């Protein structure tokens, strides 16, 4: 290779040799390395956030003081929410995107590899800063993951400033990751691959990336306004100075509602890859799936105030947000229908990724039904701030986002490592998680309807039995994730070599690969024939 044709990265290697050991991971611009780091970071954060959930559920195991004082309990609920949303779910999906998107569209790497490296390495520092607030004077912020003002501005501990800076860093990381995905998908698809030939996972991430670029600056704006109120004597959210605390809720939820879809759309993409594979059929209604994703994304911007039905909104506002929220059920229902139609009369087998995908469809739909209940404004007055809301969003996010990430890992692990995971361990992980999850969150619907408020460390005696069930379910769900950690390590270190096409083992079915084409030609996926 002549000196003139070296790329910048080649030139670095030419001068200094490739980085070795730990430095390789610090300086890497390889999308696979960065995807792996995102996934490992996500897993670590998932376990830390899970331990905080253990503290919450241990305190609620029975009424009365057991473990921690109420202030620390509130710090745990705050940190658990923030870490799971920004530290576990979002980096997990970005890790899947980094690994899969270049492979799916025939790109050599992500479009902006150095920015890719930077967007990852911001995260460990952001979350170290967030976690360090636990050890500061006055403790970590205890105002809930939604950090409503004026509780988060007038009455917050000094550590709130570090919390705000951590949120800014997470937002910068998310925006950079999203820009990278948009540029990659628009500019680096293989010749002949139009947008409507992209795999569903790539589509789901393209739309998610636009959502991120649109709403992360809104989060940055609201935490900057908090910072001004705390340190520079402004009154954005202080009624005493002519501001409005409800303004905070409007800005926060204008970010927060699209954010929930940012956490679920990539899972839709993962499940749309897995179900056709194990049904041995093409995805039913590809075009309608794409349009449904776009419709969900657009509608997610006009429903934010359904989180705020109890703030004294005029009746016209309540009606608008109620109907708009119900409208989102239509494209979501289209997706569920298409997944079921894909499975209908397919040659189904239930390997671990398919188990997680089917559980996703069923349990996400349960969360959707409770969401429709919460969308009914007059009824929401009863549900607001009870455990019914906690049950609803955990049914959307745990079987939705978390199962989506886990299903993707099981599905693509043979592709990433060249080794096959232990199927019996995978199934064990699934069933323990499935039972633990439902045991944890289903009873919360009942205590919520009976009036148990959320974010309170103690409760009346009549809620004791269901809370004990929920806590036992939480400990089961949490500890069963250790099976997953063990399985992944075991696969990487000593898994059996995976087949060239890893999912060909289904009884009576074999993949037949199409005739090889030149690498630059877009090829259709393998066709399946009955033998």
Catalytic residue (choose from 57, 335, 429, 445): 335
Active site includes 235? no
Structure tokens at 54: 């253990």
Q: What is the pLDDT of residue 252?
A: 98
Catalytic residue (choose from 38, 57, 78, 80): 80
106 near 190, Cβ under 8 Å? yes
CA angle 344–350–354, rounded 5-degree value:
80
Catalytic residue (choose from 25, 118, 145, 148): 145
Q: What is the pLDDT of residue 387?
A: 98
69: left (phi over 0), alpha (psi -120 to 50) or beta: beta
Give percent above pLDDT 70 in the chain: 91
Active site includes 261? yes
CA angle 395–401–407, rounded 5-degree value:
115
Mean pLDDT in residue range 502-527: 47
Query: What tens digit of pLDDT does each residue of 121-156 get?
Result: 999 999 999 999 999 999 999 999 999 999 999 999
Catalytic residue (choose from 31, 189, 257, 394): 257
Tracing tokens 């089961």 back to the chain, one arrives at 476
Active site includes 272? yes
Catalytic residue (choose from 57, 189, 280, 307): 307
Quick count: other Cβ atoms within 10 Å of Cβ 52? 20
156 near 141, Cβ under 8 Å? yes
Mean pLDDT in residue range 223-231: 97
86: Cα within 13 Å, side-chain hemisphere: 30
Catalytic residue (choose from 419, 454, 455, 490): 454
Catalytic residue (choose from 152, 272, 277, 342): 272
Mean pLDDT in residue range 64-87: 94
Query: What tens digit of pLDDT does each residue of 173-214 get?
Result: 999 999 999 999 999 999 999 999 999 999 999 999 999 999
Active site includes 174? yes
Q: Tell me, what DSSP letter sits at residue 195?
A: G
CA angle 253–95–87, rounded 5-degree value:
45
Q: What is the pLDDT of residue 19?
A: 76
Between CA 142 and CA 342 the distance in angstroms is: 45
Query: What tens digit of pLDDT does each residue of 12-46 get?
Result: 444 456 778 889 999 999 999 999 999 999 999 99
Mean pLDDT in residue range 336-365: 97
Radius of gyration of the chain (CA): 24
- pLDDT of 518 over the 60 cut: no
Beta strands in 280-391 (DSSP E): none
Q: What is the pLDDT of residue 66?
A: 80
pLDDT confidence of 502, banded at 50, 70, 90? confident
Mean pLDDT in residue range 489-513: 73
Q: What is the pLDDT of residue 21?
A: 85
- pLDDT of 4 over the 50 cut: no
275 near 339, Cβ under 8 Å? yes
Query: What tens digit of pLDDT does each residue of 297-325 get?
Result: 999 999 999 999 999 999 999 999 999 99
Furthest-apart CA atoms within the chain: distance in Å = 78
Active site includes 291? no
* 502: Cα separation from own chain's centroid: 26
3-state secondary structure of 138: coil
Active site includes 145? yes
Alpha-carbon distances of 520 from 5, 43, 97, 108, 191, rounded to whole Å: 22, 36, 22, 12, 6
Q: What is the pLDDT of residue 522?
A: 43
Query: What tens digit of pLDDT does each residue of 247-299 get?
Result: 999 999 999 999 999 999 999 999 999 999 999 999 999 999 999 999 999 99
Active site includes 257? yes
Active site includes 429? no
CA angle 34–409–335, rounded 5-degree value:
110
First-to-last CA distance in the chain? 49
- pLDDT of 377 over the 80 cut: yes
Mean pLDDT in residue range 54-58: 97
Active site includes 306? yes
What pTM did the predictor assign? 0.92
- DSSP letters spanning 12-49: HHHHH----HHHHHHH---HHHHHHHHHHHHHHHHHHH
Which alpha helices (H) appear in 60-159, and where do they start and end? 70-82, 90-105, 113-132
Between CA 339 and CA 333 the distance in angstroms is: 10
- pLDDT of 508 over the 80 cut: no
* 67: Cα separation from own chain's centroid: 30
3-state secondary structure of 527: strand
Q: What is the pLDDT of residue 340?
A: 98
Catalytic residue (choose from 31, 57, 306, 445): 306
* 404: Cα separation from own chain's centroid: 8
Q: What is the pLDDT of residue 7?
A: 44
Quick count: other Cβ atoms within 10 Å of Cβ 97? 31
Instruction: Name the least confident of 62-71, 204-213, 237-246, 399-408.
Output: 62-71
Active site includes 14? no
Q: What is the pLDDT of residue 520?
A: 43
Parallel/antiparallel/unpaired status of strands 496-497 and 527-530: unpaired
Catalytic residue (choose from 184, 279, 332, 471): 332
Q: Of the candidates 50, 178, 36, 60, which has an alpha carbon nearest to the alpha carbon of residue 456?
A: 60
**In the predicted model, what is the mean pLDDT of the chain?**
92
- DSSP letters spanning 241-305: GT--HHHHHHHHHHHHHHHHHHHHHHHHHHHHHHHHHHHTSPPTTHHHHHHHHHHHHHHTTS-GG
């Amino acid at each position: 290779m002549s000196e003139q044709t070296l790329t910048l990265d080649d030139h670095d290697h030419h001068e200094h040799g490739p980085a070795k050991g730990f430095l390789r991971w610090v300086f890497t611009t390889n999308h696979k390395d960065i995807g792996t780091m995102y996934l490992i970071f996500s897993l670590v954060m998932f376990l830390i956030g899970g331990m905080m959930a253990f503290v919450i559920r241990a305190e609620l195991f029975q009424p009365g003081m057991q473990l921690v004082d109420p202030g620390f309990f509130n710090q745990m609920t705050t940190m658990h929410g923030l870490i799971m949303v920004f530290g576990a779910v979002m980096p997990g999906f970005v890790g899947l995107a980094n690994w899969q998107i270049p492979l799916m569209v025939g790109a050599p790497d992500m479009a902006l590899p150095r920015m890719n490296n930077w967007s990852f390495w911001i995260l460990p520092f952001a979350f170290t800063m967030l976690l360090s607030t636990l050890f500061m004077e006055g403790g970590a912020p205890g105002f809930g993951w939604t950090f409503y003002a004026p509780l988060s501005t007038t009455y917050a501990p000094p550590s709130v400033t570090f919390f705000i800076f951590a949120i800014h860093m997470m937002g910068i990381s998310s925006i950079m990751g999203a820009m990278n995905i948009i540029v990659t998908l628009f500019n680096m698809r293989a010749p002949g691959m139009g947008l409507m030939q992209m795999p569903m996972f790539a589509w789901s991430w393209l739309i998610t990336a636009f959502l991120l670029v649109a709403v992360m600056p809104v989060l940055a704006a609201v935490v900057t306004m908090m910072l001004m109120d705390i340190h520079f004597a402004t009154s954005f959210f202080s009624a005493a100075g002519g501001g409005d605390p409800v303004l905070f809720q409007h800005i926060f939820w204008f970010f927060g509602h699209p954010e929930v879809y940012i956490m679920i759309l990539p899972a839709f993409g993962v499940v749309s890859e897995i179900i056709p594979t194990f049904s041995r059929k093409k995805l039913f209604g590809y075009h309608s799936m794409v349009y449904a994703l776009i419709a969900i994304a657009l509608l997610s911007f006009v429903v934010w105030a359904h989180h705020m039905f109890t703030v004294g909104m005029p009746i016209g506002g309540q009606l608008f947000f109620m109907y708009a929220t119900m409208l989102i059920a239509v494209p979501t229902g289209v997706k569920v229908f298409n997944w079921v139609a894909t499975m209908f009369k397919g040659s189904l087998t239930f390997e671990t990724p398919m188990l997680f995908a089917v559980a996703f469809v069923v349990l996400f739909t349960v969360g959707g039904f409770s969401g429709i209940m919460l969308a009914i404004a007059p009824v929401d007055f009863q549900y607001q701030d009870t455990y019914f809301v906690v049950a609803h969003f955990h049914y959307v996010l745990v079987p939705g986002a978390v199962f989506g990430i886990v299903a993707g890992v099981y599905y693509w692990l043979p592709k990433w490592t060249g080794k096959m995971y232990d199927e019996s361990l995978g199934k064990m992980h699934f069933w323990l998680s499935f039972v633990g999850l439902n045991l944890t969150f289903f009873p919360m619907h009942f205590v919520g309807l009976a009036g148990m408020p959320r974010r309170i460390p103690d409760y009346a005696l009549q809620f004791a039995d269901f809370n004990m069930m929920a806590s036992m379910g939480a400990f089961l769900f949490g500890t069963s994730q250790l099976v997953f950690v063990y399985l992944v390590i075991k696969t990487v270190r000593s898994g059996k070599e995976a087949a060239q096409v890893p999912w060909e083992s289904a009884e009576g079915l074999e993949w037949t690969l199409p005739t090889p084409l030149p690498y630059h030609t877009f090829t259709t996926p393998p066709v399946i024939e009955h033998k």
